[in-house]
Amino acid sequence: MTKRLPYWQLSGYYYFYFAFVGALSPYWAPYLKSLGFSAVDIGVLMSLLAVMRMFAPNIWGWMADRSGKRVAVVQFAAVASLVSFAGVFFGHGFWWLFGVMAGMSFFWSASLPLVEATTFSHLGERSERYGRIRLWGSVGFIVSVVGVGYVLDYAPIAWLPWMVCAMLAGVAVFARYIPEAEVLPHASDHISAWKLVRNPQVLALIAACFLMSAAHGPYYSFYSIYLGDHGYSKSHIGWLWALGVISEIGVFLFMPRLFRRFALEHILIASFAIAIARFLLIAWGINFPGLIILAQVLHAGTFGAYHAAAVALINRFFKGRHQAKGQALYNSISFGAGGALGSLYAGYTWDRLGPSGTFTIAAGCALAGLVLLLWKLKPKPR
């Protein structure tokens, strides 16, 4: 008998997790700017989300694998991240917000890799259904990014922290109802995780994912500021962010067909080629709304197809007791180290090279990742 899939528990968690991202990523930099911080300060504070993902997921992943209680760790981390973020209401200085963002990010970054591993454990051999669950995260992002944008067109941006807190509360509520998943033994359980990592294809995959996240650093840290400086209203900015995620949902809906028709490696390689075009369009087409709309549609490839193929490949390489470690490693190196590098170089080049130069560097990062994949990643026959 096929075990019942906890579809709505997992989908609800993804919904609020990415609703939080939708409230924070596009609007937190403008919020910090409203407090008088410089571009460098904003780059540093925004990079903390990524910096904590460099090592925190590995700590939490190790704890989860050792205890066998992934969901219990997720539940604790969800509550702790909410409590940590509440500190934003008690101070607005740089170092105070540095501590608040660092603490919140340390706990928040624990959750997603463990929930990804739990989702794949519940799915078992039905991994092609991952996209149908994960798309609810995209829906949450859209509702949040558009809704917050409209609110901030009429309300002071000081309301933003309250809206972010509401999203984190939703994460904590749904984490409470996710059931633990049985971790099935695998033939690779006796092999050390380090030996799995030394596989040249795994190293190439992780390095390329690092570069893809570095390419997205300027987008997540400064895209809203870039649009606002060129006359786009907050509601227009919200809709542009939403358009990217609507395109992403389309990819998630068709992911089962894509997985059946194309090798995961080919999907990943195509996503890097699309990323090069997308960031060049953003760099040089900001004054042409049609090009910016096209660039947002390409988010379907640079995140939707990319992320689904990447987590599926990580799940192929890391099985059994190494499953949570593999997802944690992917999140740490790509979204953590790569995202931190992206935010930091964007902060330092934004005023020196200008937005166009910064996004051209982003396209260069995607190009480097594409070359690496073409060199080392060998497609598995369908």
One-letter amino acid identity for 181?
A: A
Percentage of the chain with pLDDT > 90?
47
Cβ partners under 8 Å of residue 347, min gap 6: 39, 40, 42, 43, 44, 46, 47, 221
d(CA 247, CA 239): 12
At residue 54, the pLDDT reads: 80
Nearest C-alpha neighbor of 213 from the set 364, 373, 336: 336
At residue 165, the pLDDT reads: 95
Question: pLDDT tens digit string along 84-114?
Answer: 999 999 999 999 999 999 999 999 887 888 8
pLDDT of 127 over the 70 cut: no
The average pLDDT across 243-272 equals 89
For 66, counting Cβ atoms within 10 Å of its Cβ (0-12 exposed, 13-18 middle, 19+ buried), the class is exposed
pLDDT band at 184; cut points 50, 70, 90: low
Residue 93, CB half-sphere, CA atoms under 13 Å: how many? 4
d(CA 68, CA 242): 37
Question: What spatial distance separates the first Cα and last Cα of the chain, rounded to whole Å?
Answer: 28
Packed helices 130-154 and 306-317: angle between N→C axes, nearest 10 degrees: 140
pLDDT of 50 over the 80 cut: no
CA 54 centroid distance within chain: 13
Angle at 69 between CA 3 and CA 213, to 5 degrees: 90
At residue 1, the pLDDT reads: 36
The average pLDDT across 291-317 equals 91
Indicate the average pLDDT of the chain. 87
At residue 2, the pLDDT reads: 46
d(CA 306, CA 300): 8
Alpha-carbon dihedral 211, 213, 217, 223, rounded to 10 degrees? 120
- DSSP per residue, 13-55: HHHHHHHHHHHHTTTHHHHHHHTT--HHHHHHHHHHHHHHHHH
At residue 97, the pLDDT reads: 95
Domain spanning 7-176+191-376: which CATH class is it, in words? mainly alpha
Q: Where are the domains of the chain?
A: 7-176+191-376
Is-contact 164 25, C-beta < 8 A? no
CA 75 centroid distance within chain: 19
Question: pLDDT tens digit string along 129-142?
Answer: 777 888 899 899 88
What the block records as the tokens of 156 is: 């002071």
- DSSP per residue, 60-116: HHHHHHHHT-HHHHHHHHHHHHHHHHGGGGG--SHHHHHHHHHHHHHHHHHHHHHHH
pLDDT of 125 over the 70 cut: no
Cβ burial 205-234 (10 Å sphere, 16+ → b, else e): bbbbbbbbbbbbbbbbbbbbbbbbeeebeb
d(CA 376, CA 199): 11
